Amino acid sequence: MSHLPHHDHLDISKLSSVFRDTTNSYKFYWFLSILDDLRDNGQNLIPQKDIALRMLANVWYPLDFFKLSFGAQDGFKKVAQFISTKITVDNRPNSPELFEQIKKKFSEDELSQLSQEVKKLYRWVPFRFIRPFVENETKGLPDAQVNMAIIKTCNQLFEREPHRIMYRFADDAIELNSMWVEYLQKHQGILRSFIFWHLVKFMQKNNPNVIGLSEKLHKPVTRNLTLANRFWRGYLSENQNVSCIYSGQYITLQNLSLDHFLPWSYVVHDQLWNIIPTTNTVNSGKSNGLPSYEMYFESYLQVQYDVVQFYLNKGNKKILEDYNYIFSENIDKMSLDVFRNVLTKHIIPQLQSAQNLGFSYPNIYDKTTNKWKMK
């Protein structure tokens, strides 16, 4: 995705080079937030306050929800984490965009403070992003003079050479050129792919061991647990004494809830080997914490082994295809000890990796208070 759609009049080669020599995430989210504002409002004049808040909303998911790293030079993480200390983000599929949630739940003073904090981080970005468009006019200038030269050049050429200048600076806002607005609106999908293609390359350098990286740059998608529901309901319908590995409560078809032993926000998949039955109350409080390995692994192992044996005895090996992801041996002849050995070798490194990313550990369910807590 290094090539953008051609335009007969606009200098698209300059837009294609905006992520050249990128050392942090700011330019990616600056451009993405401009596209977001155009999509939602369609106006040429975009306040930098709104761009800043949109940038914050966009980085919250990779940084705070999925615990990714933008590298040592990036300052977004603390600001993103601040959001979680003030509001509970609604991540349901049909929930409002996080930008709207922030604007609704923070006061005007808080919004101004937030935008100022973000603008301190990206203060050079509005100029560095547009610099390829005015490269000739700024070539050889000392760093201290570049920003003012960019402002002056963009203002001078905005109407005279609109094909060259995407935006100019208007007080505490940017004004997009109408010719560019048409192009950006028409090619929103391709331009977003262009941003995320470059962003994934940037993220891979800072998150070399993270699984499902490309899925962790956005709001969580709608998950399909149809197979997992059928899987566990089939098992529970013929096994009446199954209890929750965390609380010890008996699980019925009425109170059944499906838990990702390793949090979904870490694994970003719904494979059956990582899903176990629990109750609604227990699951709703677990959030994205990592359960204590010492307290819960053996119980997790046992219920997983039992359900596999149940379906093997039923002759339904097809429903167990997810287990091929981690079990290379013939699963229908596997003893509990071998099953334990394979799961141990798979789960322990992922638990450690998740902890390194910042997922809380170890989490324990307190049966006296019916709440989760850190040990």
Q: Please state, in angstroms and rounded to a whole number, the distance separating the CA atoms of residues 63 and 80.
A: 7
Same domain, yes or no: 241 and 276: yes
Q: Give the pTM.
A: 0.89
User: How many domains does the chain fold into?
Assistant: 2
Same domain, yes or no: 258 and 137: no
Same domain, yes or no: 285 and 151: no
The predicted pLDDT at position 2 comes to 57
Q: Are 207 and 68 in contact (CB under 8 A)?
A: yes
218 within domain boundaries: no
46 within domain boundaries: yes
The predicted pLDDT at position 164 comes to 92
Residue finishing a domain among 212, 246, 264: 212
Pairs from 16-25 (Cβ < 8 Å, separation ≥ 24)? 17/132, 18/129, 18/132, 19/198, 20/132, 22/198, 22/202, 23/71, 23/73, 24/70, 24/71, 24/73, 24/74, 25/59, 25/70, 25/71, 25/74, 25/76, 25/199, 25/202
Range of the domain at 301: 226-374
Number of other residues whose CB lies within 10 A of the CB of residue 145: 11
The predicted pLDDT at position 143 comes to 85
The predicted pLDDT at position 144 comes to 87
CA atoms within 13 A on the CB side of 162: 13
Same domain, yes or no: 203 and 245: no
Residue finishing a domain among 172, 187, 212: 212
Same domain, yes or no: 248 and 184: no
Same domain, yes or no: 103 and 187: yes
Q: Which residues contact 170 (CB under 8 A, 6 or more apart)?
A: 45
2 within domain boundaries: no
- Tens-level pLDDT at each residue, the chain (375 residues): 558 999 999 989 999 999 988 889 999 999 999 999 999 999 999 999 999 999 999 999 999 999 999 998 889 998 999 999 999 999 988 899 999 999 999 999 999 999 999 999 999 999 999 999 999 999 989 888 999 999 999 999 999 999 999 999 998 999 999 999 999 999 999 999 999 999 999 999 999 989 999 999 999 887 889 999 999 999 999 998 999 999 999 999 999 999 999 999 999 999 999 999 999 999 989 989 999 999 999 999 999 999 999 999 999 999 999 998 898 777 888 899 999 999 999 999 999 999 999 999 999 999 999 999 987
3 within domain boundaries: no
Q: Are 229 and 258 in contact (CB under 8 A)?
A: yes
The predicted pLDDT at position 127 comes to 95
Same domain, yes or no: 93 and 185: yes
Same domain, yes or no: 365 and 281: yes
Same domain, yes or no: 338 and 195: no
Same domain, yes or no: 190 and 254: no
Same domain, yes or no: 282 and 192: no
56 within domain boundaries: yes
Place of tokens 């359900």: 307
217 within domain boundaries: no
Q: Please state, in angstroms and rounded to a whole number, the distance separating the CA atoms of residues 142 and 145.
A: 6
87 within domain boundaries: yes
Residue finishing a domain among 186, 212, 238: 212
175 within domain boundaries: yes
Same domain, yes or no: 232 and 170: no
